[in-house]
Amino acid sequence: MKKGLFYAILASVLWAIVNPFIKQGLSYDFTPMNFAGIRFTTVGIILFAYTWHKGMWKEIKQHRKLFLNLILINMFMGYTAFYFGVDFVSGAISSIIMGMTPLINVLLAHLLASNDRLNTHKIVSLIVSFIGLLLIVGMGSNGEPLSWKGIAGVVLLLLNIVLQGYSAISVSEDKGKVNPIFLNAVQMFFGGLLIYIVGIGSEGYHSFIGKPGGFYLSLGILIFISVFAFSFWFIALQSKGAKVSDINMCRLINPILGAVLSWLMLPGEYPTFSTVAGMVIIVSSLVIYFKGPQIIRKIKPGIA
């Protein structure tokens, strides 16, 4: 379990810095699906070069249900929703919304996983986090109510969390059946290629040749993150004794670090009362999740 938490924290730190670089990359006259497709297909090629082995096509066929789940639901549907969501809202708000990932996945784990059930303090934690989400959705990065485009962005980000949470449970339920790095290679290459092909069809072809240095810096950092973050994440999910809900709590790091980086890196983005208050409330909900029993014992010492 400690090994699982260690790798989950590493993955979470890497994911926390994703949103500002996606916003930066898209600012160079690039479209979401083209950008995501190039990123993930490149990651898949890099990982395939490392994990290529005899009999891998037979392995893919043997575990086709798991691979199709990751390619279609996690990568294609999930990341298409994620990239459009990030494009529609500010970097800080997208980072904070993605901070809801742990708690939404706790609910999904209760409904879908075989050994992960809700209790009283987890339910309280979910309610508190929902209050924080309402505060963030109600206001944009400038303190004004979000536009319909901004609200659509929030909905897409939440859809991404649900889709990827479902996939995470599938990986966790199939512990030890497939090498986690090879699992990442297959989902990245085929999922990224599918996103890119559909992106060209729906958005048109956007050349990535001759772009400013900032574009390639953003793309390179995102490729580096994907190579390692998802591999670490799958290792965490497949660790002995790991529960999806507990592993997901490590993503508490995301809303704080991601929002701060957005405020530092992206022009026109700055902290407001609503975003900071929403972030504090969501973080508080996670503290309740982790420390609920200890808090109750301190309030009522007689309770075991």
Q: Model confidence over 226-251: pLDDT tens digits?
A: 888 878 888 887 777 666 666 766 76
- Using CA atoms, how far apart are residues 235 and 8, in angstroms rounded to an integer? 8
pLDDT at 247: 73
Q: Please determine, for residue 21, whether its predicted confidence score (pLDDT) is greater than 60.
A: yes
Q: Give the integer Cα–Cα distance in Å for 116 and 113.
A: 6
- Dump pLDDT digits (tens) for 76-122: 998 888 888 888 887 667 767 776 777 777 777 777 666 666 677 77
pLDDT for res 43? 93
- Give the 3-state secondary structure of the chain: CHHHHHHHHHHHHHHHCHHHHHHHHHCCCCCHHHHHHHHHHHHHHHHHHHHCCCCHHHHHHHCHHHHHHHHHHHHHHHHHHHHHHHHHCCHHHHHHHHCCHHHHHHHHHHHHCCCCCCCHHHHHHHHHHHHHHHHHHHCCCCCCCCCHHHHHHHHHHHHHHHHHHHHHHHHHHCCCCCCHHHHHHHHHHHHHHHHHHHHHHHHCCCCCCCCCHHHHHHHHHHHHHHHHHHHHHHHHHCCCCCCHHHHHHHHHHHHHHHHHHHHHHCCCCCCCHHHHHHHHHHHHHHHHHHHHHHHHHHHCCCCC
Return d(Cα 220, Cα 268) in angstroms, integer. 24
Residue 295: pLDDT over 90 = no
pLDDT of residue 288 exceeding 90, the answer is no
Environment class of residue 303 by beta-carbon count within 10 Å: exposed (0-12), middle (13-18) or buried (19+)?
exposed
Q: How far apart are CA 185 and CA 170, in angstroms?
A: 17
1 pLDDT more than 60: no
**pLDDT over threshold 60, residue 54:** yes
pLDDT mean over 27-33 = 86
Q: State pLDDT tens for residues 181-223.
A: 888 899 999 999 999 999 999 889 888 888 899 999 999 999 9
Nearest to 94, CA basis, from 156, 174, 182, 13: 156
pLDDT of residue 304: 46
The pLDDT of residue 252:
66
Q: Amino acid identity of 9? A: I
pLDDT for position 188: 92
The angle, 0 to 180 degrees and rounded to 10, between the axes of the packed helices 32-51 and 180-203 is: 150
Tell whether the model's pLDDT for residue 58 goes beyond 60. yes
At position 259, the amino acid (one-letter code) is A
Residue 237 confidence (pLDDT): 77
Closest C-alpha to 106, from 252, 273, 214, 229: 252
Please give the C-alpha separations between residue 86 and each of 26, 65, 68, 194, in angstroms, as whole numbers.
Answer: 10, 29, 25, 20
pLDDT tens digits, one per residue of 139-188: 554 555 667 788 888 889 989 888 888 887 777 766 567 788 888 899 99
pLDDT of the residue at 117 = 67
Average pLDDT, integer, range 57-64: 87
